[in-house]
Amino acid sequence: MTDGGSEEFDPRDFMTSFRVIAAGVLLSPRAFFQEMRRTGGMMAPFLFMLACLVIHTLIVGLLHKDMALIGRNLALGLTFPFITAGLSFVLLTRLFQARGTFEAAFRVNAYAAAINLLSWFPMVGVLLEFYRLYVITIGLSTTFETKPWKALVALVLIVGLYIVLASRLGTALGGGA
């Protein structure tokens, strides 16, 4: 597997780098992930993800004025990319014998957080979550050098797991019968 290209968030040049990375992910995900570095640490992608999350959470907070929603957005936004990366890595490498690393899977999920910059828009947010699945599918298939359908199947299994766990948690907390 190659290291990929040079696409990497640079916090020292925050504004320019943030704009270039976000535009690349949102407008041309295939080209972005083909050029994305596969190694080099997780700090730069994490900081990009964090910036997207903070922007999203501030906008949602201003719109809804709901502290519980803000806290939930922050908690889920910080944890789910790591969990999704881990599950993606395991499913792609074990189930489909694809070649890749946890770091590459995390980088894909972290940079896909660019979707958060737009997903707060009413009514459009749900559609953008489907676009997020597309972006992550393209990213995983590129970085793991596997067919897109395999990456999509892994993501569908992960989303299914999340839905089952959320429904179980809702039932356990008294949200259902």
Nearest alpha-carbon partner for 1 in 38, 29, 32, 31 = 38
Q: Specify the pLDDT at position 176.
A: 53
Reduced to 3 states (helix: H, G, I; strand: E, B; else coil), residue 7 is: strand
- Of the pLDDT bands very low, low, confident and very high (cuts 50, 70, 90), residue 1 is very low
- Of the pLDDT bands very low, low, confident and very high (cuts 50, 70, 90), residue 109 is very high
Q: Is the pLDDT of residue 2 over 50?
A: no
DSSP 109: H
Q: Specify the pLDDT at position 152.
A: 97
Length of the chain as a residue count: 177
Q: Specify the pLDDT at position 72.
A: 84
Number of H helices, E strands in the chain: 7, 0
pLDDT tens digit sequence for 118-167:
988 878 888 998 999 999 999 999 999 999 999 999 999 999 999 999 88
Above pLDDT 90, what percent of the chain?
Answer: 69
Q: Is the pLDDT of residue 19 over 80?
A: yes
* Torsion, Cα of 155, 99, 37, 43 (10° steps): 70
- Of the pLDDT bands very low, low, confident and very high (cuts 50, 70, 90), residue 6 is low
Domain ranges of the chain: 11-172
Above pLDDT 70, what percent of the chain?
Answer: 94
pLDDT tens digit sequence for 43-87:
999 999 999 999 988 888 778 787 888 888 889 889 999 999 999
Q: How many CB atoms are closer than 10 A to CB 40?
A: 15
Q: Specify the pLDDT at position 174.
A: 67
Global confidence as pTM: 0.88
Q: Specify the pLDDT at position 32.
A: 96
Q: Specify the pLDDT at position 113.
A: 96
